[in-house]
Amino acid sequence: MRRQSVSILPTFVQLSSAVPQQAFDQATLWESAFSKWYADIPDAQDFGTVTRVRKRHMAWDPARDIGDRTRGIGERMKAYVGIVDEVAGEAFEDLLERTDPGDVGSIVMASSTGYYGPTPDYFLAKRFGLKSNIRRTFIGHMGCFAAFNVIKTAMDSVVARPDEYTVGICAEFSSLHFRPEATREQAIVHNLFGDAVGAFTMAMREPGHGPQILATHTHQAYETSDMMTLSVLDDGVRMTLSPYVPFVIASVITQFIEDLCAAASVDPAEVKHWAIHPGGPKIIDFVAQKLSISERQLEATWHVLREYGNCASATVLLVLKHLIENDQPQPGEIGVMLAFGPGLTVEGALLRF
């Protein structure tokens, strides 16, 4: 089999993450808020267990900050301004402890849970003393797969300017959009999503400096656009999530991996490490079954789902960080990152550690 030659490639040089300080287990959320919101929904208390989420970090306490009323979009965005600066700033500061701010030429940031201008990346650049001619890109409203839009934009930046670093940030605060809408779908969504920031520095590097990106791939199932949606309402961003999503992903994932690996002349059998966005337990189970992924290879994915919940675009970066720190992939081993979101859209990256 023809091997891709050893070369300088876009590389994750550093990864960092941060979360809001307050955390809640599922039982506490049920007792304090959800038992009132979903009192008329049969078996609603079981949703906290079904999602396999143990605890989540949240910018807002649903009981205290929302309660039995709802909040307007303006109030939610005001809260977003403060929390994104705090938590994204923590992750950003961690990266810059190991990177000279003068070497950062671009920032790429994604968020589907808040909007204001200048966008948060502007204020982060100002706060940490980045140069005034830094290039900034803000990616909004693309949902759980948006980390890959950040990654691919960062790749373009470092390929074009190989002497610079690019900082990528995904900052999501879904708790700011919880709404006491008494439907089964919203009860499941509110038992699944948490808040987090995932961030990285990327640069052109030889093997041995971090996971190199060998290839990326995208699949958009245009006929399924109504299965997962995000809508801005007067009282927050509302997400819809069809129970058929796992079946659609399972139906395309084998061919998706074959196409992703073929782009770098890699045999899919060589993939040893999997950083899969935990969109929900059924998605993980179905993908693992289709691709014959072992439970050991899913440890990072299940860990993040259990301890943080689905944190939208930030999640796959949290999974990759946990995988690197705990699985300690060996130099030259192959890995895959995967995420899924509105569209339905499947995104993937092929890595060489």
CATH of the domain at 59: 3.40.47.10
> Is the same domain home to 48 and 164?
yes
**Residue 1 domain-assigned?**
no
pTM for this entry = 0.95
Of 291, 324, 295, 284, nearest to 50 by C-alpha is 284
Taking only the tens of pLDDT, the chain with its 353 residues reads 344 445 999 999 999 999 999 999 999 999 999 999 999 999 999 999 999 999 999 999 999 999 888 899 999 999 999 999 999 999 999 999 989 999 999 999 999 999 999 999 999 999 999 999 999 999 998 999 999 999 999 999 999 999 999 999 999 999 999 999 999 999 999 999 999 999 999 999 999 999 999 999 999 999 999 999 989 999 888 988 899 999 999 999 999 999 999 999 999 999 999 999 999 999 999 999 999 999 999 999 999 999 999 999 999 999 999 999 999 999 999 999 999 999 999 999 999 99
Task: Look at residue 203 in the predicted model and tell me its pLDDT.
Answer: 98
Cβ(165)–Cβ(158) below 8 Å: yes
Pairing verdict, β 135-140 and 104-111:
parallel
Q: CA 254 to CA 339: how far, in whole Å? A: 14
Same domain, yes or no: 284 and 220: yes
Q: Count of domains in the chain?
A: 2
Domain range spanning residue 136? Answer: 11-205
Maximum distance among all Cα pairs of the chain, rounded to whole angstroms: 61
Question: Are 141 and 25 part of one and the same domain?
Answer: yes
CA distances from 340 to 27, 32, 231, 246 (A): 28, 31, 18, 10
248 and 197: one domain? no
Distance CA 118, CA 315 (A): 25
Contacts for 74 with CB less than 8 Å, ≥ 6 apart: none
pLDDT of 1: 37
User: Are residues 235 and 276 both part of a single domain?
Assistant: yes
Strand order in the sheet with 9-18: 135-140, 104-111, 165-173, 195-205, 9-18, 212-220, 345-352, 334-341, 271-276
Distances (CA, A) of 285 to 52, 73, 249, 337: 12, 35, 11, 16
How confident is the model at residue 6, as a pLDDT? 59
Residue whose entry in the numeric block shows the structure tokens 């190199």? 212
Closest Cα to residue 76, out of 87, 62, 90? 62
Query: 218 and 201, same structural domain?
Result: no
Among residues 159, 185, 205, the one where a domain terminates is: 205
